[in-house]
Each structure stands twice: as structure tokens, then as C-alpha cells.
Amino acid sequence: MRHRLPLGAAGIGALVLVWSALAATVLSPADGVPTPWAVLRQLRHDGWAFYAPHVLQTGGATLRGFLLGNGLALAAALLVALVPLLERPVVQLAVASYCLPLAAVGPLLSTIFAGDTASVALAGVSVFFTTLVGALLGLRTTATATLDVVRACGGGRWQQLRRVRLVAALPATFAALRIAAPSALLGAMVGEYLGRVDRGLGVALTVSEQQLQIARTWGIALVCGALAGTGYALLGLLSRLALPWARPATGGGDR
């Protein structure tokens, strides 16, 4: 962990240097690529007063969709663990939700729901498959010998699930939730493109692009990336705190 932060900072620094070099030589604002410094100046000029309503709107829809989609996915995984015969239809439903293009489903949801409900629904659809698969894989990682012990003591599927499978599934489930966080943001922003809300990062991105405000467009994109990264990092931190026993063992050189 100590080595990841310097490496990450070095990677970001190298990316900024390459971006600056390309923007100053091969590319230009006329090509739609401003310098990093122009983007930072625009971010400072816009300030929190500009970004606050958009971040709060998109973040709120993302969080609600994240909770809804993951809640349904976890409930479906638990149901499959208790009733294995349901695995095939549940997985087929999850695959269908994953294969449906959001750009095609979004307009249908927008005609059915008012306000930002379509954004919430698309955020939920975006995470359902990932979390379901991760939870199912986690539930299957339980050692057979441990299940045999519970079975020998008279425990059925419910006891196996409650006493053994749930704990064994936590690492894989948390990994799936981390991946789902950026996906939920993407789904919420796609819902905002449909025009049923008057604010949000998706709305701001569309307006700035139409007005050819290049630096602001890049700034909004950076804010979106930061928001997605924050969700990913927070779930990673929660996973480390909740599952200290699941951390990979470190060698002598890391001490």
C-alpha cells in the first residue's frame, strides 16, 4: 500500500506531461484538446458554485441507483444460493440486462418515469450484472469440507448460507461493488442525456460541448472521473476495513 501512492502520483504526473506536450505541439484547442493548465484555470473560474448542483444531482442519482441495483443483485444471489434451480433464469435475466444498450433502454424509461427516475434506473441496471456475478462467484468459493461439517451437524442450505457462505462471499462481492461504482455513475449520466432533468454532470457536459466551451468540457470530464474514482476508492477502503483477514499477505520486503 505504501508503494501504490507514489506510483499512482508518478503515473498521473507522466500523463499530465504527455497531455501538455501533445496540446502544445501536435494538438491544439482548435482540435478540441486544451492544455491541462487551461482546464485548471477553467475549473477554478467555474468553482464550486457551478459544480455543486450538478455533482449533487448526479451523485444522488448514482447513489440511489447503486443501492437499488446492488440490492436486487445481492437478493437474487442469495435466492439462487437457497434455490439452485433458479440460477439459470436469474443469470439469463442478468445477462439480458447487461447486453441491453443503455442508449436504447434510456428513452423508454424516460417516457415511463418522470424526473431523474430514469437516471436512477439506468444506474441500477448498469451494476446489476457485475454484482450478481461477483456475489455468485463468492458464494461458490466456500470450501466443500466446511459445508460438509454444517451438513453433518444437521444444517440445511439456510444454515450453510448464514454460517459459511456469506463470509466466504464477502471478498468477491466487495470487488464487484468496487467495479460497479463507476458503472453506476455512467448509467446515471446516460439518463441525464435524455433531457428529463435540468441539471447534472451529463447535462452540463452536453451544454458545454454544444457551446464549444472546450476547457469546461474537459473540466467536467475530469470531475466525472474524480467522482467515479472516489466511489471506487471509498469501497476499496470499506473493503479493507471490513475484511482485514482478506488482505493479501505481504513479503518480508514490505515490512
pLDDT of residue 225: 92
> Is residue 251 domain-resident?
no
Helix orientation angle between 4-24 and 36-82, rounded to the nearest 10 degrees: 130
Spatial separation of the C-alpha atoms in residues 145 and 24, rounded to whole Å: 63
> Is residue 2 domain-resident?
no
* Number of domains into which the chain is organized: 1
- Give the three cell numbers for residue 236: 476499496
User: pLDDT, tens digit, for every residue of 6-35?
Assistant: 766 777 778 778 777 777 777 666 667 788
> Is residue 1 domain-resident?
no
> Is residue 7 domain-resident?
no
> Is residue 255 domain-resident?
no
Looking at residue 181, the DSSP 8-state letter turns out to be: H
Residue 136 near residue 77 (C-beta atoms within 8 A): yes
Q: Residue 120: pLDDT band by 50, 70, 90 thresholds?
A: very high
> Is residue 229 domain-resident?
yes
Q: Residue 249: pLDDT band by 50, 70, 90 thresholds?
A: very low
pLDDT of residue 255: 39
pTM of this prediction? 0.84
Residue recorded with cell 458503472: 183
Q: What is the separation of C-alpha 120 from the centre of its chain, rounded to a whole number of angstroms?
A: 13
Q: Domain range spanning residue 167?
A: 28-242
pLDDT of residue 106: 78
pLDDT of residue 251: 46
> Is residue 12 domain-resident?
no
Mean pLDDT of 208-234: 91
Residue 204 near residue 166 (C-beta atoms within 8 A): no
Looking at residue 3, the DSSP 8-state letter turns out to be: T
Spatial separation of the C-alpha atoms in residues 251 and 255, rounded to whole Å: 7
157 burial type by CB count under 10 A (0-12 exposed, 13-18 middle, 19+ buried): middle
User: pLDDT, tens digit, for every residue of 53-75?
Assistant: 999 999 999 999 999 999 999 99
Share of the chain above pLDDT 70, in %: 84
How many alpha carbons lie under 13 Å from residue 228 in its C-beta half-sphere? 18
> Is residue 165 domain-resident?
yes
User: pLDDT, tens digit, for every residue of 169-187?
Assistant: 899 999 999 999 999 999 9
> What CATH number is attached to the domain comprising 152?
1.10.3720.10
User: pLDDT, tens digit, for every residue of 122-171?
Assistant: 999 999 999 999 999 988 887 666 665 666 676 667 777 777 778 888 99
